Amino acid sequence: GCIAVTDAEVKQYMERGVRRERIEVIPNGIDVGSFEKLPQRGSFRSERTIKDDEIIFLYLGKITPRKGLLYLIRAFSYIQKNLSARLIIAGNDMGYLNVVRREARRLGVEGKIEFTGLLVGEEKLKAYVDADLLIYPSAYEIFGLVPFEAILCGTPAVVSDDSGCGEIIGKAKIGITAPYGDSTALAKAMEWMISHTAEAREMVERGKAFIRKNFTWESIAEKTIDFYCRMIDEKG
């Protein structure tokens, strides 16, 4: 038997000849407890001299081609014309940062984008807490923990529909999705989230409950043990 974390991974198994009945969907787990005590709101803004009235759009993840950062920068270029906003790109450069910077310069928004490098621990939590919106525009993302971590910190999320996390977020209605590679659609999704704060808040609260019910390590462990036992019994 094979374990897939989302239906997106199920399809990959089946493309390689694994029969559907031999595949069990068990999502990745999240250490929910590590998001119970969060930093004070405003710390990230203060440390980076971001104005109180500036909207913070946050991307957190590796800087690679498949993460969709060029589409994000184009979407940000479009919507920042009517907003006081800052785009924070936090993550390891995997050899693609210069390409991303060139696109920001070409569109004239480099001064409104901050590249922080990798954020971990308390610094990552500060960024989540202060962000007004988390954007995760990647492709081939079988699961993707980042949007779920953001939701646990009270931050709404927009994600690509070409991903496992997009699949989950769309079905559970705990965020909104945009077609991968479509900057116009991504910009519209970002604008909608920012302008519909009550609906975004409802998604976040629904998301917190969904994550605590489905993604705790205790729940994942039980499902994994059940699957192993079933496979052993079949071998019996």
pLDDT above 90 for 119: yes
**Quick one: pLDDT band at residue 82, thresholds 50, 70, 90?**
confident
Across the beta sheet with 55-60, what order do the strands follow? 113-115, 85-90, 55-60, 133-136, 157-160, 176-178
Backbone dihedral angles phi then psi of residue 225, each to the nearest 5 degrees: -60, -45
Packing angle, helices 164-172 and 7-15, rounded to 10: 140
What's the pLDDT tens digit per position in 169-205? 999 999 999 999 999 999 999 999 999 999 999 999 9
Q: With contact defined as beta carbons under 8 Å apart, do 100 and 73 qualify?
A: yes
Cα–Cα nearest to 170, from 212, 206, 130: 206
- Quote the CA–CA distance of 89 and 10 in Å, as a whole number: 31
3-state SS assignment for residue 64: coil
Average pLDDT, integer, range 36-65:
95
Rg from Cα positions in the chain: 19
| Six token digits for residue 47 | 């440390």
Say what the pTM is.
0.93
Instruction: Please count the helices (runs of H) and the strands (runs of E) in the chain.
Output: 10, 8
**By percentage, how much of the chain surpasses pLDDT 90?**
90
Amino acid identity, position 55:
I
**By percentage, how much of the chain surpasses pLDDT 70?**
100
What residues have CB less than 8 Å from 179, skipping those under 6 apart? 160, 161, 162, 185
Instruction: Output DSSP code: residue 129.
Output: H
What residues have CB less than 8 Å from 17, skipping those under 6 apart? none
Average pLDDT, integer, range 144-171:
93
- Quote the CA–CA distance of 78 and 98 in Å, as a whole number: 21
